[in-house]
């Protein structure tokens, strides 16, 4: 095992869509909003499914699993700009390096 591959980390290779919808370092989520009287973290987290690496993948998931979501569930493109690791992964992919 090399020093860069510790037991607590795994290498993940994904194909990320280049259709970024005018969003830096995109990823997509299915958002299923519900009314909350008390916005507790577990309630808020339960409204999000993903990440997905293209709008098509997220929409296919939502269509296939529609019975698990409310009628207001939508696919939303998010920005990974605030995640240094996600930005570095995108930049490396664009440059063709690992």
Q: Does residue 81 lie within any of the structural domains?
A: yes
Please check whether residue 13 lies inside any domain of the structure. no
User: How far apart are alpha carbons 91 and 97 in whole angstroms?
Assistant: 9
Question: Does any domain span residue 80?
Answer: yes
Residue 66 per-residue DSSP state: G
**3 or 39, which is more confident:** 39
- pTM of the entire predicted model: 0.75
- The domain total for the chain is 1
Domain boundaries, position 55: 26-93
Confidence at residue 7, expressed as pLDDT on a 0 to 100 scale: 65
DSSP state of 26: E
Residue 51 covered by a domain: yes
State residue 1's pLDDT score: 42
Cross-strand bridge partners of residue 52: 28
């Amino acid at each position: 095992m090399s020093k860069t591959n510790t037991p607590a980390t795994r290498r993940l290779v994904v194909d990320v869509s280049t259709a970024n919808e005018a969003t830096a370092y995109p990823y997509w989520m299915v958002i299923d909003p519900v009314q909350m009287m008390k916005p507790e973290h577990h309630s808020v987290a339960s409204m999000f499914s993903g990440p997905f690496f293209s709008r098509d993948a997220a929409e296919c998931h939502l269509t296939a699993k529609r019975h698990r979501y409310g009628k207001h569930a939508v696919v939303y493109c998010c920005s990974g700009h605030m995640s240094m690791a996600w930005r570095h992964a995108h930049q490396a992919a664009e440059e063709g390096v690992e």
